[in-house]
Structure 1
Amino acid sequence: MTQIHISIRKPKTGGLDPVTGLMRFRPVRRHFDADKNLIIAASFDADLSETGELTVDLLPTTSAFVWQVIELADTPQAYTRYVEVPDSKTKVEYADLVEVDAGTFVPKDMQGSQLLKVRHASTQSEAETLSARYPDAVVLFDETATTMKAAMAMSTLESITAEAQTNAALARSAMLSAQSSADSATATQSDLNILASNANTLAASVANDSQTVADTANAVAAKGESAIATIDSTVRAVKDKAEAATTVLPSTGTTEGTTDTGTTEETTEEPGKDSTPAKAKKATVKGA
């Protein structure tokens, strides 16, 4: 409800006098209020005080209705106005109410001008959509609700930003750790390369030493084989000479180099035995 203060005066010599009388109020057209109550076009009356003043509570008007006010009803001075009542928490003067046309509800000071079309939206985005769809209309929306939604969106963005910063810090830490691991791996690879090079050098040295030992062994073996062949040849030559030098004396006659000792054969007869003389033994002399 909005409080409307009314003050009516009449002229007199030297000033103004208060006017008493009846004020009649009636909503034009039936309509529904915010609580979905059907408000019929019924009137009510209120009396001016002795000071010619009245404060009355009226429903704020909407696009569905306006207030009809009959001043000093049922008197020759009766006058009818159709006014808009704003939704106000403070008292509003009756003289400040906007007077409108009874049929169109268009303010009288705007008659003859283009009618302003107004549409309502619940959010700014909806208002932008309606504005694009109805360019010849004014779209109104609840700025407070939109501000709250914007604040919530900003809070969400701040939360997302904080989370992104945390993730970025974690990623930076992981990258540094990976870089450190890569450096360690590079150092390890370098050490392994050095060890591999040393191993190759050692293997080459061992191979050279082994080849030297093998060559020496082969040379010794060759010399041994040569010595063995020489010994075999010498032994065979000696054996051949020994076999060639061996001579067997003939069974009769005197061989060259035999000395006659003048020994004579003796014949001894023994009873019962042959009296054939015994043969002399042969003497065999090997040549030098």
Structure 2
Amino acid sequence: MTQIHISIKKPKTGGLDPVTGLMRFRPVRRHFDTAKNLVIAESFDANLSGQGELTVDLLPTTSAFVWQVIELADTPQAYTRYVEVPDSQTKVEYADLVEVDAGTFVPKDMTGSQLLKVRHASTQSEAETLSAQYPDELVFFDETATTAKAAAALSTLESITAEAQTYGALAKSAMLSARSSADSATATQSDLSSLASNARTAAASVANDSQTVADTANAVAAKGESAIATIDSTVQAVKDKAESASAVLPSTGTAGPGTPEGTTEEPGRDSTGETPAKKATVKGA
């Protein structure tokens, strides 16, 4: 709402006197307000004070309607005006309201000139939409709200940038840590390779020593087998000589010890008739 201050005076000798009476206000044409309410073209009255003044709250006009004001209604001095009411936070004087044509809503001082239509938007995006929709009209919007939104967007971008820098620092730290771990792993791998090489060398040395021991054992075993064969051969030769010596010893015919007297034995046989085994003395070879 906009406050409109009205002051009406009448002339007198030496000055002005206040005028009392009735003021009538009516919106011309039915229309919708910003809250989507349908406002019908019905009038209301307000009385001037004893000082001939009145302050009334009126809806700001749009391209859809203007205000009809009847001064001193129902009197011979009644006069009708059609005016635009601006959207203002401060009090506006009735005398400063722009008077328009009742049929076209064009200001009277612009009659015969090219009409410039103006629309109002609450945001820049809405203004851009209206401007595209009505290319022959001017569209105004509240720059303060748009600036605040831009500042908020800039603050958000700065916050995102700060977060990105933080994450970048963390990523760099992680990369350096990973590189250090990789270097440590490489050094460990080198140490393990060296240990493996040493182990292979030691294993080869042990295998070589084991082969030497095995070869020596095989040689000793071979010599042992040769010695055993020699011993076996010598023993067999001794046995053969002993058997040969036994075969050539002569028979004596005398009763041997343990033979009873009066018993005649056949040479070469004992009392049982068996030929006893011949005894021979074997000289050492």
Smaller-chain TM-score bracket:
0.5 to 0.7
C-alpha spacing 1:229/1:93, structure 2 compared with 1 (3 Å):
same
User: Which whole-Å CA distance do the structure 2 matches of 1:138 and 1:194 have between them?
Assistant: 85
Q: How does 1:259-270 map to 2 (within 5 A)?
A: none
Q: Which amino acid aligns with 1:57?
A: V
**May I ask how many residue pairs the two structures share in their alignment?**
253
Aligned alpha-carbon RMSD (Å): 4.5
CA distances 1:221-254 after superposition (whole Å, capped 9, x unpaired): 112222222232233334334433444345599x
Contact 1:4 1:56 in 2 (8 A): yes
Q: Which amino acid aligns with 1:46?
A: L
User: Which whole-Å CA distance do the structure 1 matches of 2:82 and 2:280 have between them?
Assistant: 186
Q: Which amino acid aligns with 1:26?
A: F
User: Which whole-Å CA distance do the structure 1 matches of 2:137 and 2:107 have between them?
Assistant: 17
CA distances 1:127-181 after superposition (whole Å, capped 9, x unpaired): 4344334434444555555555555545554554454444444444443433333
User: Which whole-Å CA distance do the structure 2 matches of 1:238 and 1:2 have between them?
Assistant: 158
The equivalent of 1:270 in structure 2 is: none
User: Which whole-Å CA distance do the structure 2 matches of 1:38 and 1:80 have between them?
Assistant: 19
User: Which whole-Å CA distance do the structure 1 matches of 2:65 and 2:134 have between them?
Assistant: 23
TM-score by length of 2: 0.64
Q: Which amino acid aligns with 1:113?
A: Q
TM-score by length of 1: 0.64
The equivalent of 2:276 in structure 1 is: none
How far residue 17 of structure 1 moved from its aligned partner, in angstroms, is 5.4
The equivalent of 1:40 in structure 2 is: 42
Q: Which amino acid aligns with 2:26?
A: P
C-alpha spacing 1:43/1:205, structure 2 compared with 1 (3 Å):
same
Indicate the percent of aligned positions where both proteins have the same amino acid: 65
- Tell me whether 103-112 or 27-36 shows the greater mean CA deviation: 27-36
Contact 2:4 2:94 in 1 (8 A): no
Contact 2:83 2:97 in 1 (8 A): yes
The equivalent of 2:101 in structure 1 is: 101
C-alpha spacing 1:133/1:197, structure 2 compared with 1 (3 Å):
farther
2:61 corresponds to 1:62: yes
User: Which one has the largest radius of gyration?
Assistant: 1
The equivalent of 1:258 in structure 2 is: none
C-alpha spacing 1:237/1:20, structure 2 compared with 1 (3 Å):
same
User: Which whole-Å CA distance do the structure 2 matches of 1:100 and 1:285 have between them?
Assistant: 176
The equivalent of 1:188 in structure 2 is: 188
Unaligned runs of 5+ in 1: 254-272
The 3-state SS of whatever aligns with 1:82 is strand
C-alpha spacing 1:157/1:285, structure 2 compared with 1 (3 Å):
closer
The equivalent of 2:224 in structure 1 is: 224
User: Which whole-Å CA distance do the structure 1 matches of 2:34 and 2:131 have between them?
Assistant: 25
C-alpha spacing 1:134/1:197, structure 2 compared with 1 (3 Å):
farther
C-alpha spacing 1:99/1:180, structure 2 compared with 1 (3 Å):
same
The 3-state SS of whatever aligns with 1:104 is coil
CA distances 1:102-143 after superposition (whole Å, capped 9, x unpaired): 11212234444145263x555433443443344344445555
How far residue 216 of structure 1 moved from its aligned partner, in angstroms, is 1.1
C-alpha spacing 1:44/1:229, structure 2 compared with 1 (3 Å):
same
The 3-state SS of whatever aligns with 1:90 is coil
How far residue 214 of structure 1 moved from its aligned partner, in angstroms, is 0.7
Q: How does 1:200-239 map to 2 (within 5 A)?
A: 200-239=200-239
Contact 1:2 1:60 in 2 (8 A): no
- Tell me whether 96-105 or 142-151 shows the greater mean CA deviation: 142-151
User: Which whole-Å CA distance do the structure 2 matches of 1:92 and 1:122 have between them?
Assistant: 22
User: Which whole-Å CA distance do the structure 2 matches of 1:238 and 1:232 have between them?
Assistant: 10
User: Which whole-Å CA distance do the structure 2 matches of 1:91 and 1:71 have between them?
Assistant: 19
Q: How does 1:68-147 map to 2 (within 5 A)?
A: 68-69=68-69, 80-111=80-111, 112-114=113-115, 116=117, 118=119, 121-147=121-147
The 3-state SS of whatever aligns with 1:103 is coil
How far residue 98 of structure 1 moved from its aligned partner, in angstroms, is 1.8
User: Which whole-Å CA distance do the structure 2 matches of 1:234 and 1:145 have between them?
Assistant: 130
Unaligned runs of 5+ in 2: 254-260, 268-278
C-alpha spacing 1:97/1:224, structure 2 compared with 1 (3 Å):
same
The equivalent of 1:4 in structure 2 is: 5
The 3-state SS of whatever aligns with 1:61 is coil
